[in-house]
Amino acid sequence: MTVINTGKILLIHPLGYQSDAAGKDISRLANIMPPIGLASISAYLENRHIESEIIDCFARPNSDRLIRERLKDENPSFIGISCTTSSFNDGVRIAKNAKYILPGIKTVFGGPHVSALKEKVLEGAREIDYVVVGEGEETLAELIENDGQSVSHIPGLVYRDTSGAIGFTGYRKNGLDLDSLPFPAYEKLEGYPDVYKLPIFNYPKTPNSSCISSRGCPYACSYCDRSVFRRSFRFNSAEYVYAHLSYLKDRFGIRHINFYDDQFTFKRKRVEGFTKLMINRPLGMTFNCAVRAEHVDADLLKQMKAAGCWMISLGIETGDEILLAQHRQNADLAMLADKIRMIKKAGIRTKGLLMMGLPGETEASIQKSRDYVFSLPVDDFNLSKFTPFPGSPVYENIHEKGVFDEDWEKMDCMNFLFIPRGLTKDRMEALFIGFYRTHFMRPKVLLGYAAMVWRSPDSWFRFIRNMGDFLRFAKSNNRLGNKEK
């Protein structure tokens, strides 16, 4: 008879698809981000004397055998799986296998997808025992400490009672004080930091990593899922962020950080304090961050540059101001262009973030986006395929805006699953390929990437090592683009 190890949990970050496809996943070759949320939860649990281990299937795709070994050897009482929409079905598969190996194990799911769907998750998957809604640390700790018994008093939990009825205990009233949290348990991520890679041409030095210094976003864009932190915004103090980076450098040798915050500069005084610390007590580290144009100016950018800011990303979304106004606040493209030029003038690399296929998109709006982006001094851009995720405002009536194939496994912003009225999927693919092709054919862009030979040499090494996969991907897309001309 297997004895369950009460008070221990195995935390899993699913791959989201068959492991033999991982080597052909271009997005994965270009970017492997550590599961910082799971590492943060693990550190918090350890502080409450709850044992935990992490298996990151995305970083190590052939992890099924490792999961089986951990379940058999450690006999944890819980398995926790953090999912996006595209990785949810893979998470259910892992949960089903875990119950086959350890019939008494309790399965807990967390992440944006299940936080958005809540009770619907348990209605559709008998393999799942609990869903943690929202911020995970306290809810998961209390669930484990109660060993899954009498959980109706634990906020932030979807569960089945003894009769099989499904209930939601409601949101937690207060979020955690982020400065009270220990640093994430990076050491529990096997191979950290070497197996994790920031996007190519998005960093100057290695080793590098990602860091989160705030939670939530005060804005309400139509395309964003705010199910986990809702409209709240909490942040680490300048002193905590500086100490966090110092720890990463001393413990793991990290030389460059990508802040994965939605709004890094939303609280100006915090950024001023952090950058002053980086200037007065240099760590020899550089960093990237994402900002909204409203929250930067020349003085702040000058200070950020002096503190080691290497690249700033901004959400442009679309170059059609009328379309943009339908989906986000303060749709002022002239102001945004001025701020991008300001960032470039400060000597900071700029990256534009765009989407194609928003509800209301047309060929004319796509052309406006191309004209707008190509008129700006952006060094790089990322064009994603709009995906209406559960929990986002636009998801509620998305079927009224066009044709939507809700295939969760493909909902990763790499597929056109929503097609606006007046367009077809094939035409969208051709326009998407044409957008990128035109960008890379521009002389100033080619010169910019050539300069990365000395500004980011590791990026070029990675590109050369994986050149065969990149060229095969480009060739297959070219065939489609030529076919649809």
What confidence category does residue 179 fall into, taking pLDDT thresholds of 50, 70 and 90?
A: very high
d(CA 28, CA 13): 14
pLDDT tens digits along 101-116: 999 999 999 999 999 9
Same domain, 385 and 319: yes
- In-domain check, residue 176: no
Local structure of 316: helix, strand or coil:
strand
- In-domain check, residue 177: no
Q: Considering its fold, how many domains does the chain have in total?
A: 2
Local structure of 177: helix, strand or coil:
coil
Length of the chain, please? Answer: 485
What confidence category does residue 160 fall into, taking pLDDT thresholds of 50, 70 and 90?
A: very high
- In-domain check, residue 178: no
Same domain, 134 and 12: yes
pLDDT tens digits along 168-178: 999 998 889 99
Same domain, 122 and 214: no
pLDDT at 480 (0 to 100): 46
Same domain, 264 and 413: yes
Same domain, 77 and 24: yes
Q: Report, as an integer, the average pLDDT of 345-354.
A: 97
CATH of the domain at 412: 3.80.30.20
- In-domain check, residue 173: no
Which of these three, 122, 146, 168, is where a domain ends?
168
Q: Report, as an integer, the average pLDDT of 423-434.
A: 96
pLDDT at 30 (0 to 100): 80
Inter-CA distances, 313 with 3, 29, 35, 136, 453, Å: 50, 20, 21, 28, 21
CATH of the domain at 68: 3.40.50.280
Same domain, 257 and 388: yes
**% of the chain exceeding 90 in pLDDT:** 80
pLDDT at 46 (0 to 100): 96
Same domain, 405 and 330: yes
Same domain, 135 and 250: no
What confidence category does residue 20 fall into, taking pLDDT thresholds of 50, 70 and 90?
A: low
Residue-averaged pLDDT of the chain: 92
Phi, psi of 130 (to 5 degrees): -140, 150
Same domain, 85 and 12: yes
d(CA 122, CA 131): 8
- In-domain check, residue 189: no
Local structure of 350: helix, strand or coil:
strand
For the chain, helix (H) and strand (E) counts, in that order, are 17, 17
Same domain, 238 and 156: no
Domain carrying residue 24:
5-168
Same domain, 149 and 215: no
Same domain, 205 and 106: no
Tokens of 291: 């900002």
- In-domain check, residue 190: no
Of the candidates 435, 434, 386, the residue with the CA atom closest to the CA atom of residue 412: 386
pLDDT at 473 (0 to 100): 56
Inter-CA distances, 140 with 52, 71, 123, 169, 448, Å: 12, 19, 21, 13, 46
d(CA 394, CA 397): 6
Residue scoring higher pLDDT (363 or 480): 363
pLDDT tens digits along 76-85: 999 999 999 9
- In-domain check, residue 183: no
Local structure of 146: helix, strand or coil:
coil
**pLDDT at position 119 over 80:** yes
What confidence category does residue 198 fall into, taking pLDDT thresholds of 50, 70 and 90?
A: very high
